[in-house]
Structures are given as structure tokens and as C-alpha cells.
């Protein structure tokens, strides 16, 4: 099902004494109902939630990610407004996975993404488990030209290339995407940043090799955007026409992101990841992005939700 946003989903502090100089995101975001006529959005940003943890449940993870979009929106509501006047923010509500019908929910999510992309919005999806990625892709692929190549950059401790037999899960979206692209006669361009060797079996490394995935391990990203890492990212981006960025919050160390399905003890710091996000956002090829795997049930003082909001803030500020 689909549920539009209302003002109860975007709320926060107001500084009336400061007038326009004291505005925050919850005061400037405009709400749109994706089941009705949607205005043209060229150059503007649309947020769409995927309220789902069925993929996490199937992947034997800690459920609770279905509450992720609401928690991220609440954290984003408090962000100070420093956007240029010509840039506007739109809240597109949530696609909700009900009755464990993940595949149907992913198709519905894809249709909403397709609509927003067709209208010219820069889309940012709020997860939900990483099963968000396949539904996200279903919408993006409709907006890729016949001769264009899509590049996927996934910031993640895990490849998420698990088999989707007998059923898809939060661990299988990128293998599903690889096979969908193969069926369409297109190459699978996949770069994973932040891989933890101890968190991925030999089988997953083998699958990554079989599908031609590239990756940088977390231990090589501790100092962020080094020249070597920058060159790898740029070489990848130069080979594709459009980029889809997926940020799995379990790429971060558990000290910064305790509220995820699979916490990572030796993950990355926000200071190491943020320059990577900015580099990708500056490329001019970024098509869409998502932030996934927030599990508010296990968060501490909303710090993971606030981290997600901070990443989105800088993404919006630097997206060209």
C-alpha cells in the first residue's frame, strides 16, 4: 500500500523570532501525494520511504527497519535550511510492505520511483531494509536509455549478493539486479565500498567475482577519500552514464550506528564516508540515492537516525 505524508510526519522546533533566517526542513518541505497529479520537479528533491523489514526477516536479521523512514524524517525535520531559493524539498510519503508481500511492495516502490524520476525529481529513498534497493532499481531502469549504462555504488559492509532462491531478501538485491540487467542485455556495473571480509563468506566473494563486482574493503577506507580511492571511484563513474548510490548504515562502526540490523564493530567513521558521498554527488551523474537499514528499535538516543539525516543533508547540499 501507499501512504502520503502529512504534517505529522514532518515536525520539529520552530524559531519564530528569527523569521526566514530560522527556518528548518520541516517548515520548507512540501508534501505531494504520489497517487494524484504530481507537479514537475526539475532539479528539486523528493523523499520517498519504503516501510519494510520483510527482507530483513527473510535474511534472519533483526526486524524493525519498517520504522526507519519515520525516524529518518523526524531527524531530517530538525535540519537547518541552507538551501538556495531555487531548490525545493518534497515529501512523497511511504510505500508500505504489508502481509509479508515483499515482491508486490517492491513493484509498487518501483512505480513511484519511476513517476518521480519521469517528473524530473532527484529521488532519495528512506529505508527500510536493503531489499529497498531492488524496488528502487525497478523504477530507475525504466529511465535508463537503451544505450546508457547504470553504475551502482553501494556503501556497505556486505555485498548483498546472496542467492534469492527460494525467495528474495535484504541480502539478495544486487544479485537480482545483476540478473535483471543480464536479461536486458546490459552490463552490471557494481562498486561496493566498505566491505568487511569477516562479514562475507567465501561464497559471496566468489559470487562478486562471477558478476564482475568491484569493491574496496573497509580497512582501505579508514582515511576516507585518499588519492587511490578517489581514482577508483572516478574510474568507475567514467565508465557509466548514470549512478545510483545506496548507503547501508551498517557500513559505519556500531559506535556511530548502533541502530541497524547487523551492527559492524570495525566499521567506518562518518568522517571517512562523507567525502566519498560528496565525491559521488559532485560527479554530475548521480541519478538517485537511498539510505537503508535503519532500525530504530535498536538505536541509542536516535544517533543512527541523526547520522542518516546528516548524510542526506550533505548529499542534498552537494548533488550537482
Q: What is the CATH number of the domain that holds 69?
A: 3.40.800.10
Tell me how many domains the chain contains. Answer: 1
Domain that holds residue 181: 2-318
Half-sphere exposure of 197 (CA within 13 A, CB side): 3
- The candidate with the shortest Cα–Cα distance to 229, out of 289, 288, 155, is 155
Global confidence as pTM: 0.98
Alpha-carbon dihedral sign for residues 299, 302, 308, 314: negative
Name the β-bridge partners of 291: 126, 247
pLDDT tens-digit profile, the chain (320 residues): 999 999 899 999 999 999 999 999 999 999 999 999 999 999 999 999 999 999 999 999 999 999 999 999 999 999 999 999 899 999 999 999 999 999 999 999 999 999 999 999 999 999 999 999 999 999 999 999 999 999 999 999 999 999 999 999 999 999 999 999 999 999 999 999 999 999 999 999 999 999 999 999 999 999 999 999 999 999 999 999 999 999 999 999 999 999 999 999 999 999 999 999 999 999 999 999 999 999 999 999 999 999 999 999 999 999 99
Total Cβ atoms within 10 A of residue 6: 11
Half-sphere exposure of 132 (CA within 13 A, CB side): 34
Residue 228 CB partners (closer than 8 Å, separation 6+): 220
Amino acid at each position: 500500500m501507499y501512504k502520503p505524508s502529512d504534517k505529522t510526519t514532518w515536525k520539529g522546533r520552530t524559531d519564530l523570532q528569527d523569521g526566514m533566517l530560522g527556518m528548518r526542513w520541516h517548515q520548507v518541505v512540501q508534501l505531494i501525494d504520489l497517487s494524484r497529479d504530481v507537479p514537475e520537479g526539475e532539479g528539486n528533491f523528493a523523499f520517498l520511504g519504503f516501510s519494510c523489514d520483510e527482507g530483513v526477516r527473510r535474511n534472519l536479521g533483526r526486524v524493525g527497519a519498517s520504522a526507519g523512514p519515520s525516524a529518518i524524517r523526524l531527524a531530517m525535520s530538525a535540519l537547518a535550511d541552507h538551501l538556495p531559493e531555487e531548490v525545493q524539498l518534497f515529501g512523497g510519503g511511504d510505500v508500505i510492505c504489508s502481509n509479508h508481500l515483499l515482491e508486490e511492495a517492491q513493484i509498487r516502490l518501483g512505480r513511484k520511483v519511476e513517476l518521480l524520476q519521469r517528473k524530473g525529481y532527484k529521488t532519495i529513498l528512506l529505508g527500510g531494509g536493503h531489499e529497498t534497493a531492488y524496488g528502487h532499481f525497478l523504477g530507475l531502469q525504466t529511465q535508463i536509455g537503451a544505450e546508457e549504462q547504470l553504475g551502482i555504488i553501494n556503501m556497505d559492509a556486505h555485498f548483498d549478493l546472496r542467492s534469492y532462491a527460494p525467495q528474495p531478501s535484504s541480502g539478495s538485491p544486487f544479485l537480482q539486479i545483476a540478473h535483471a540487467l543480464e536479461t536486458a542485455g546490459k552490463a552490471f556495473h557494481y562498486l561496493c565500498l566498505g566491505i568487511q571480509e569477516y562479514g562475507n563468506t567465501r561464497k559471496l566473494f566468489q559470487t562478486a567475482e562471477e558478476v564482475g563486482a568491484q569493491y574496496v574493503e573497509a580497512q582501505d577506507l579508514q582515511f576516507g577519500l585518499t588519492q587511490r580511492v578517489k581514482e577508483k571511484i572516478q574510474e568507475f563513474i567514467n565508465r557509466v552514464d548514470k549512478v545510483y548510490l545506496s548507503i547501508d548504515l551498517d557500513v559505519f562502526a556500531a559506535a556511530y550506528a548502533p541502530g541497524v540490523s547487523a551492527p559492524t564493530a570495525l566499521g567506518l567513521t562518518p568522517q571517512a564516508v562523507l567525502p566519498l558521498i560528496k565525491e559521488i554527488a559532485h560527479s554530475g551523474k548521480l541519478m538517485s540515492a537511498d539510505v537503508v537499514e535503519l532500525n530504530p528499535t535498536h538505536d541509542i538516543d536516535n544517533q543512527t537516525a541523526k547520522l542518516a539525516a546528516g548524510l542526506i543533508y550533505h548529499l542534498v547540499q552537494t548533488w550537482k
